[in-house]
Amino acid sequence: MGVLFLVVTAGIVLYMMVQGLRYIRPELFVTSPSAGFTESQTGGFLDPLMGTIIVALMAMAIALPIGIGVAVWLSEYARPFALARLVESAVEMLAGSPSIVFALFGVLIFQSPAMGFFSRTTGDGVVYGRSFFAAAAMLSLVAFPLIVANVREGLQAIPGHVREAAYSVGKTKIATTRRVLLPAARPSVVTGAMLGVGRVIGDTAIIVLLLGATLRFNAPGDIPVLDTLRGTGSTLTSFVYQNAPTGEANQPTKAYAAGFVLLTMVLILNALVDIAVRRGRRLSWGS
Amino acid sequence: MGFMTPPPVRRLPLSGGPEPAVVNGNGNGAASSFTSSPRRAARPSALALERMRVEDLSIAYGPKLAVDSVSLPIRQGEVLALIGPSGCGKTTLLRSLNRLTELTKGTSMKGRITLDDEDIGTLEPTGLRRRVTMVFQQPNPFPMSVFDNIAFVLREQASRRPKRAALKDGVHDALVRAGLYDEVAADLSHPALRLSGGQQQRLCIARALAADPEVLLLDEPCSALDPQSTQVIEDLITQLREELAVVIVTHNLQQAHRIADHVAFMYLGELVEYGSADQVFHEPREQRTKEYLSGAFG
C-alpha cells in the first residue's frame, strides 16, 4: 500500500517535472499573456506569476499578524474559558471549510457598496467586487488556521518554567511573550507561514471567483499600485486551469510549464519548512 | 547593600563529586553517612540579617493543602536549605516567596510574607520578583545570545534600550558574579542554549543576579547537572550568601549538609523542624527528622 502511494506520488511529480522541463522557456517568465491563435502568439505567464506572488504577500500580511495574535491569546491567555473554546472551534471550522465557500462569501461582501474602495466601481455605481484585495482577504482565511495551529503548538511546547524564569526577573506576561516565547516559537511561526503560503498559492476557487482570473492585470487607473490592487488579475493556478486541455484556451504546453513553476514553488516551501523544523529541534530546553 | 565584611570562608576541597543522594539508614537516629562529607564552616548567625519573614503561611491548591502554617525567617548572609520528601511543599513555599504560586490557577494563600518588613502581597509583583529572583531545576536560558540573556533582564520589560554598548558593564558584572565570565568572554554572542548544562545553569544564576536581588531562590538547581557542575555551583552559592539571602530547595541531603547554614525540614506541608544545619543534621529534635535523615522515608 505504501509502495503504491509512493509510486503514484513520484509518478505525478516526475511527470509534471518532465513535462514542465520540456515546455518551459525563459521568455515565459518575462512576457505577459496575450490573445492569439497559436501558442507562439499567446505570450508567457508573467502576470499570473506576479499575481501569485502578490496574493501570497497580501494574504500573509493579513493572516500572519492576526494568526499569531490569536495563537498567543489561545495559548497564553485563553480567558474566559468558554470564549477560548469557541474561538478554537471557529478556527477548526475555518480549517475544514472548502475555499469555494470563502470565495462565495467574499463575492457577497466585496460587491456591497460599502466595500467599493477595494475594487472597481462602474459609472452607475455597481461595485465589481473582484480585486487583489478581495482575493487576498479571503485567501488569508485559508492560511489563517494553519498559522494559528502551528504557532499555538510551538508556544505550548515551551516548558512552563521558561515563562516562570522570565516572570522571576520581573518581566510581565507581554514582555515575556514578545521577547522569549515568540522568538522561541519562531520555527513554528515559519512553519505555519510556509504551509499557509503553500495553501494560498495553490488555491484556485478564490482566484477564479474573486480575482477575476483575467489574463493580464486589469487596472487602468491613476494611482499606480493601489489601482492595480483594486483591479483584477490571475495567478498560476487559474492560468493552469484555463490552459489545461479541458479549459477554454487549451494550450497544454503552457499549462505544464506554469504547473511546473507552481509545483517547484511548493516543493521549495516544503523544504524551507523542513529546515525550520530541524533548526528548531536543535536548540531547546528539557521539560 | 551595606553588609559588613564577612569573615573569610574556609573552603575545603571536595574530593570527586557528591555521593549519591540515597542515605543508607543505619537505624540509630540521625544519619552519620553524610556527616563525613566535608562541610565549609557554618557562619556565626549574629552576622546574618533578616530580610524576609514567613508568618503562619498556608497555601492550598484547590482543596489540597500544600503548605500548612509555616513560619520561618530568611536571612541575608546565610544559606537556608529546604529539605523534605517529594510533595512536602518545599517548592511551593519557595515559589510563594516571589509570588509565583499565584500564577497557578486555584491557589489560595493565608498568612503573611514580608520582605524588609513590607508585606509582599502589597508590592508590585514585577518589582518584587526583581528583588527576589529565582533559578529553576532545569537550566532555562532564554533563546538568545549569552549577552542578550543578561541584557534582557537589565532592560525595562520588552524594551530594546539601552543599547548593547551601554549594558556591557552590567552584563560583565553579572557574568563575573556567577563565575561564568571567563568561560564565555570569547564569544558573548554565542547562543545560550548551546552552552553546556552547567554553564546554562550558571547563566541562569547570572540572569537572576543581574536584577540585583536581595534574595535568591534556588529550586533544586543542581539536580539536572553532573557532579562537577554541581560543585562549581555550590561554591558559587557559598560565595553569594555574603551579599544576599539564599534559599535553596534540595533533595540532596549531602548538598544541604555541605552548603546550608540553616535547614528547614518539611513534611506533608508542615515545617517539622527549623534550625542551624549543625543542630538539624547532628542533633535533630523531632523523631520525623531523625527518620528522614536516616533514610527511613523520602
Taking only the tens of pLDDT, chain A with its 287 residues reads: 889 999 999 999 999 889 888 888 888 888 888 777 777 777 788 889 999 999 999 999 999 999 999 999 999 999 899 999 999 999 999 999 999 999 999 999 999 888 888 888 777 878 888 899 999 999 999 999 999 999 999 999 999 999 999 999 999 999 999 999 999 999 999 999 999 999 999 999 999 999 988 877 765 667 777 888 888 888 999 988 888 887 676 788 888 899 999 999 999 999 988 888 887 776 778 65
% of chain A surpassing 70 pLDDT? 97
Q: What is the pLDDT of residue A287?
A: 55
For B128, name the nearest residue in chain A, comparing CA atoms only: A170
Spatial separation of the C-alpha atoms in residues A50 and A48, rounded to whole Å: 5
Chain A hits for B100, CB-CB cut-off 8 Å, are: 164, 167-168
Cell 513554528 belongs to: A188
Spatial separation of the C-alpha atoms in residues B72 and B76, rounded to whole Å: 13
Out of B140, B158, B193, name the one closest to residue A165 (CB): B140
The model carries a pTM of 0.85
3-state SS, residue A199: helix
Give B215's contacts (C-beta < 8 A, 6+ positions apart).
B51, B52, B74, B76, B97, B98, B115, B131, B132, B133, B244, B245, B246, B247
Q: Is A167 on the interface with B (CB under 8 A)?
A: yes
Taking only the tens of pLDDT, chain B with its 298 residues reads: 444 444 444 333 334 444 334 434 344 444 445 655 566 555 545 567 888 999 999 999 999 999 999 999 999 889 999 999 988 999 999 999 999 999 988 999 999 999 998 999 999 999 999 999 999 999 999 999 999 999 999 998 888 888 888 899 999 999 998 889 999 999 999 999 999 999 999 999 999 999 999 999 999 999 888 888 899 899 999 988 888 999 999 988 999 999 999 999 999 999 999 999 999 999 999 999 999 998 866 5
Backbone φ and ψ of A143, nearest 5°: -80, -30
Question: Three cell numbers at B117?
Answer: 518588613
Contact A111, A127 (CB under 8 A): yes
The verdict on a CB contact (< 8 Å) between B153 and A169 is yes
This complex has an ipTM of 0.83
Edge to edge, the sheet with strand B215-219 lists B118-119, B107-115, B49-61, B64-76, B270-276, B262-267, B79-83, B245-249, B215-219, B132-135
Q: What is the pLDDT of residue B7?
A: 45
Strand partners, B219: B249
**∠A128-A131-A132 over CA atoms, to 5°?**
170
Q: From the CA of A157, how many Å to the nearest CA of chain B?
A: 14
Q: How many CB pairs under 8 A join A and B?
A: 83
The verdict on a CB contact (< 8 Å) between A179 and B152 is yes
Chain A hits for B137, CB-CB cut-off 8 Å, are: 161
